[in-house]
Amino acid sequence: MVQSGGCSANDFREVFKKNIERRVRSLPDSNGLSKETVLSSWMSKFDSVYGGDDDGWRRAGTNLNVQSELILSKEQLFQMFQTILGVQKVEHQLLYNGLQLDNVDEQAAQIRRELDGRLQQVDRMARGRTFPVFVSSDMDLLFVEEQRSSISVLMSNLESVPVSRGAPDFKHKLKRSSISSSFLDVGDDGDVLSKSDIQLSFSLEVIIMEIQGLKSVAPNRVVYVTMEMEGGQKLQTDHAEASRPQWGTQGDFTTTHPLPSVKVKLFTENTGVLALEDKELGRLVLTPTVGGPKQAQFHRMDTPKNSLDSDLRIRLSVRLDRPANVKHTGFVYVVGQRVWKRWKRRYLVLVQVSQYTFAVCSYREKRAEPQELMQLDGYTVDYCRPPPGVQGGRFFFSAVREGDQVTFGCDDEQDRLLWVQSLYRATGQSYKPKPPPSKTASGGGAPKPPSASSVDPSERPGLDELISTPPCDLDHGALFSVLQKLTLKHRMNDSFSCLGWFSPGQVFVLDEYCARYGVRGCIRHLSYLKELMEYAENSILVDPTLLHYSYAFCASHIHGNRPDGTLTVTVEEQEEFYRIRDQLMKLLENQISHFRYCFPFGRPDGALKATLSLQERVLMDGSTPVSPEDLRTLLCSCLQRAAHINYGQLVEFANVTVDGEASAERQLEDVMRLGELCIEVLQQNDEHHSEAFLSWSNLMTEHAETFLSLYGADMDAALQVQPIDSWNSFPLFQLLNNFLRPDPHLSNGAFHKHLQDLFVPLVVRYIDLMEASIAQSVHRGLENETWHAVSNGSASSEDLFWKLDALQMFVIDLNWPDPEFAKHLDQRLKLMSMDMMEACVKRTKSAFDGRMQRANKSTDFRVSSSVCTMFNVIVDAKKQSSKLCVVAGANESDHQWQYHPNTHVLVDETIAYMTAMLVSKFSAVLDGVLSKLSQYDEGSLFFPLLSLTKPRADLADKYVTFVRQNQDIVRERVSEEIYVDKVFEHWYMSWAKTLCVWLTARVDLQLHPYQLRMLIKMVKETYRDFRLQGVLDPVLNNKSYETVYNRLTVEEATAAVRAAHDLQGVSMRDSGEDEPTE
């Protein structure tokens, strides 16, 4: 994308956004961090990296460049084409002045001369019949008419331009008004400086040293010196004796005058009584300049008439410091076209007004404001020859710009060198002036040949000839081809993604050139096509719409459809067209074959579709459209080559080599990685390129099948070397099948069916082996099972259910595309699960029976952890059976269901059986307790003996402890609450029924107080414990319990009447105990 140069910043951003969004969307959700936040963070980082630290000024500069590309001023067009053609600014300025481009009358006259010359050329061609070679001899006269018609159009356009009235700055009105005016056009002189913009401030230092030649004053008289700046303050020295007039006094002044006037006067004290002023002995007027002598010098002073001091001299030093904004000063001869129009010696100051603005100002003495100034914007300085007919100056240099030339003369060569260097730094020009060799250095030998870098037109070879050459004598077709080539090269190197389109300013200049000099439209577009194809062949992206337009223009012209009104076709144009047509055909076929690399990510938008449209246009023979079958055949062959190219590039990118000596694991890894890349390539093709081929159905499908067939060859080779007992290749099937199955075009296609045929034997063998392995693990695991609790069951059950679930999930994850085979796999796994689960349930039930039979029946019985684990195994089997043993779409009439019993029924029966076994064991313990209480029945064998002994009081406590601890064990170790509640309900109902039967058998007997006390305590505590365990009131207060409650209440009342027997405070109506509800 970068090397093609055809993608804008927005293209890069959109491609990055799509790719990062697809990757982020595929990630799992994260708590507290939304995917939108992640995407926003990625895009912010992209903008930061792309824009850099100075994104603000980059964006501002880009906006300015965009505007300047849309609307260009005259100066900007000049500057652009100077860069395009490699013309130095000084050469442009010389051509500008030599061709008088600032003179409207001269330009109009030049156009008239050009048009007249073209008419004469056409007449000569018609008389001499020296026409270009046309495809038909009948086109000779048509060519003459076409030329005359185009010249007439230009004449009428020139005639329609109004004559300027009193507007000396009228320039280039022949240009299009919509482009010659611009908000960026700041005029010819830019921001014009005024005299008030020049602000100078000088520091003047005057040091008075001594006086010599003073004879008119007595030695003992007092003398002193005064210093006065014109228009400023007045300073004086200390008093000194006339015999020794020495001071060393310094006076400092500040002035705005580049040529200030300083008056120095010598005074002596006047001793007269009536004298008002001291006597002046002499005076001196100085005009210091920057760069003057800094050492103290003697100056002769002017003395009054009849003074004896005829040789009165003063030694002093005057120093005028140069301010920072003054770059150079001096007296120079100068003449120009706009300022300083007379050759005259002037005092010039080079002033820096701002960082980019300099001006040369001329000053008079004692003046702070410049007399005239010249702003240096756009000027180029260089050495030159002396202008003819001038007096003054020996060494010359000039400053040139469009419409103006200023010539300077100096008396000293070193002074000229300093001026040129200062002006060179001020103008900022790229051309560096080179001083000419001095006459003494040349030695009087042969004259030096002209230099191409000289500002003087006479010293630049070819400029005079170029200026004076008639335009009609030039081959403008060849010149325009060069101009267009250089312009396109400049445009393609722009920072903009132009795709070969010229900017509006460039189009304007090229259109004007063709119209003014009669460049044929076909020649123009053929040259344009040739240059564009050269860029495209070098992998630089060119807009196919642009190629289409130029080709259609040339094709219409060659076949006589007159796109621009031109009826004549030359043999050269026809031959060049067919040559370019063949070249374009090869280019388009190559681009379609390399569509992924010529149009990466479908960028620019619509470019591939436009290329296909151009291909169809190129295949047309004149105006006859190409048949759809021929176009489809061509595109099909291109896409077949594209499949081989894309796969070859992909293999090279993945660094995968088909090496038979590599290990099977390494080959499988390479094929897996290559498969991921192939899927990504096909997804990108579908997302970015398939839309362009919608008009040709199944072309991209055939391309994808060819692409996958190439991958299939490498895949087959890698799978053949895999071990027979290795299942590492299934992820490869899942990867490819998950991509192919949802695709309506590739699903059950050639490659998809080949993939299924490869993996059907592997899947069947894998399931066979897993079934045998699971059956063996069930047999061995349950034989050696210790029944320790593991998760929801035992180690064997957990391993069994995990393996069955993993095997079924494996088949589900395969997403087998063939519905019949997928149904077969599902039914087989479900039936296998039924077999395994039935075996597990039966083995667990058998182990449960063994444990329960070995358990004792006393109140010391506690439900063991292994029994709870067995119960949990059966409960977990019921839960897993709903997931592992339900065949989708099966009904009771299926033969599989007739062979296998309903697993749910088997599990439910086993759970009911185990519950009943537990309850029966609890009931057996109760029976043992009641049998001990039966010994106190009246009429029993042991009653007389037991009535005389003190009964044990811990029988009821042991039973209550038995009940509570077993309730806690069951509640804690049985995993499912619903089955815990069922066990408690059945236990309670069995308990109440057993008590009721026992009491009913003794309805005619009165209970022994010990019996009554034990029963009341057992009933009350057990009732409370079951109630706390969550047994519902309807179950708690059943008829059996009511019978027991009523009987014990009556027995308690009877015992209370008989005072002889004490219940030791045990009663059915303890505080806080509610009666059972009726």
565 versus 860: the higher-pLDDT residue is: 860
Residue identified by tokens 């019921």 is 878
Q: Which of 41-55, 285-299, 1045-1059 has the lowest mean pLDDT?
A: 41-55
Q: How far is CA 654 from CA 599, 649, 676, in A?
A: 21, 9, 10
What is the mean pLDDT of the segment spanning 328-333? 93
* Residues 858 and 932 sit within 8 Å (Cβ to Cβ): no
Of the chain, the percentage scoring pLDDT greater than 90 comes to 28
Please check the confidence at residue 1075 and state whether its pLDDT lies above 50: no
Which tokens sit at 177? 């008004």
The pLDDT of residue 37 is 84
Q: How confident is the model at residue 398 (pLDDT cuts 50, 70, 90)?
A: very high
What pLDDT, on the 0 to 100 scale, is given for residue 484?
93
Q: Which SS3 state, helix, strand or coil, does residue 354 take?
A: coil
- Reported confidence tier of residue 177, pLDDT bands at 50, 70, 90: very low
pLDDT-wise least confident of 130-144, 159-173, 393-407, 434-448: 159-173
> Stretch 1025-1048: mean pLDDT, rounded?
91
Whether the CB-CB separation of 353 and 193 falls below 8 Å is answered with yes
3-state secondary structure 144-201: HHHHHHHHHHHHHHHHCCCCCCCCCCCCCCCCCHHHHCCCCCCCCCCCCCCHHHCCCC
Q: How far lies 924's CA from each of 108, 168, 918, 1019, in Å?
A: 132, 132, 10, 17
| Whole-number pLDDT of residue 171 | 38
- Report the distance separating Cα 983 and Cα 917, nearest Å: 10
pTM above 0.85, yes or no: no
* Cβ atoms of residues 591 and 541 within 8 Å: no
With cut-offs at 50, 70 and 90, classify the pLDDT of residue 901.
low
Q: CA 885 → CA 831, 879, 904, distances in Å?
A: 7, 10, 9
Euclidean distance between CA atoms 336 and 404, whole angstroms: 7
Q: What is the mean pLDDT of residues 113-134?
A: 83
Distance separating alpha carbons of residues 492 and 598, to the nearest angstrom: 17
- Between CA 997 and CA 1009 the distance in angstroms is 19
**Span 962-973, pLDDT tens digits:** 999 999 999 999
Q: Look at residue 603 in the predicted model and tell me its pLDDT.
A: 77
Which of helix, strand or coil describes residue 991? helix
pLDDT tens figures, 802-814: 988 988 898 888 8
Task: Please write the tens of the pLDDT for every residue from 580-622.
Answer: 999 999 999 999 999 888 888 887 788 889 999 999 889 887 7
82 contacts 96 by C-beta, under 8 angstroms: no
Give the per-residue pLDDT at 953. Answer: 57
Please report the pLDDT score of residue 658 as a whole number. Answer: 60
Distance separating alpha carbons of residues 69 and 492, to the nearest angstrom: 13
With pLDDT > 70 as the criterion, what percentage of the chain qualifies?
Answer: 86
Whether residue 547 contacts residue 614, with contact meaning beta carbons closer than 8 Å, is answered with yes
Tell whether the model's pLDDT for residue 208 goes beyond 70.
yes
Listed residue (258, 263, 394) closest to 327, CA to CA: 258
How sure is the predictor about 726, in pLDDT bands with cuts at 50, 70 and 90? confident
DSSP string, 78-110: HHHHHHHHT--HHHHHHHHHHTTTT-HHHHHHH
Q: Taken in order 912, 913, 914, 916, is the CA torsion positive or negative? A: positive
Quote the pLDDT of residue 58: 45
Q: Which of 121-130, 401-410, 824-833, 1020-1029 shows the lowest per-residue confidence on average (mean pLDDT)?
A: 121-130
Q: What is the pLDDT of residues 989-1003, one digit of tens each?
A: 999 999 999 999 888
Who has greater pLDDT, 55 or 513? 513
* pLDDT at residue number 160: 79
**Is there a contact between 167 and 342 (Cβ–Cβ < 8 Å)?**
no
What number is the average pLDDT over the span 922-940? 84
Q: Please tell me what DSSP assigns to residue 656.
A: -
* 248 CB neighbour count, 10 Å cutoff: 11
Instruction: List residues bridging with 332 in a β-sheet.
Output: 346
Q: Determine contact, residues 773/850, Cβ cutoff 8 Å.
A: no
Per mean pLDDT, which range of 536-545, 926-935, 1065-1074 is the poorest?
1065-1074
Radius of gyration in angstroms for the set of CA atoms belonging to the chain, rounded to a whole number = 57
Q: State the pairing for strand pair 326-335/395-401.
A: unpaired
* pLDDT tens sequence across 441-496: 434 444 445 444 444 544 555 666 777 778 888 888 899 999 999 999 998 887 77
CA-nearest of 698, 680, 696, 676 to 688 is: 680
Identify the weakest region by mean pLDDT among 466-475, 634-643, 1021-1030.
466-475
Distance of CA 892 to the CA centre of its chain: 61
Of the candidates 894, 843, 897, the residue with the CA atom closest to the CA atom of residue 870: 843
pLDDT band at 183 (very low <50, low <70, confident <90, very high): very low
Q: Is the pLDDT of residue 187 over 80?
A: no
CA-nearest of 901, 890, 1050, 869 to 974 is 869
pLDDT of amino acid 124: 84
Per-residue pLDDT tens digits for 562-583: 776 778 888 898 899 999 999 9
Three-state secondary structure call for residue 974: coil
pLDDT per position as a tens digit, 758-798? 999 999 999 999 889 888 888 888 888 888 888 888 888 88
Average pLDDT, the chain: 82
d(CA 851, CA 867): 7
| The two structure tokens encoding residue 822 | 């997928």
Q: Give pLDDT tens digits for 301-312.
A: 988 888 888 888
pLDDT band with cut points at 50, 70 and 90 for residue 3? low
Predicted confidence at residue 587, as pLDDT, reads 93
CB 351 within 8 A of CB 325: yes
The CA–CA distances, whole Å, from 205 to 81, 320, 331, 620 equal 53, 6, 22, 90
Beta bridge partners of 284: 264
Would you place residue 1039 in the very low, low, confident or very high pLDDT band (cuts 50, 70, 90)? very high
Rounded-to-integer distance, Cα 69 and Cα 496, Å = 10
479's tokens: 């010149």
Contact yes or no for 201/322 (Cβ under 8 A): no
Q: Is the dihedral of CA 784, 788, 794, 795 positive or negative?
A: negative
Closest among 281, 272, 285 to 308, alpha carbons compared = 281
Helix (H) or strand (E) holding 854: helix 819-854
> How far is Cα 783 from Cα 704, in angstroms, rounded to an integer?
55
Contact yes or no for 1036/1027 (Cβ under 8 A): yes
Averaged over 663-691, what is the pLDDT?
A: 89
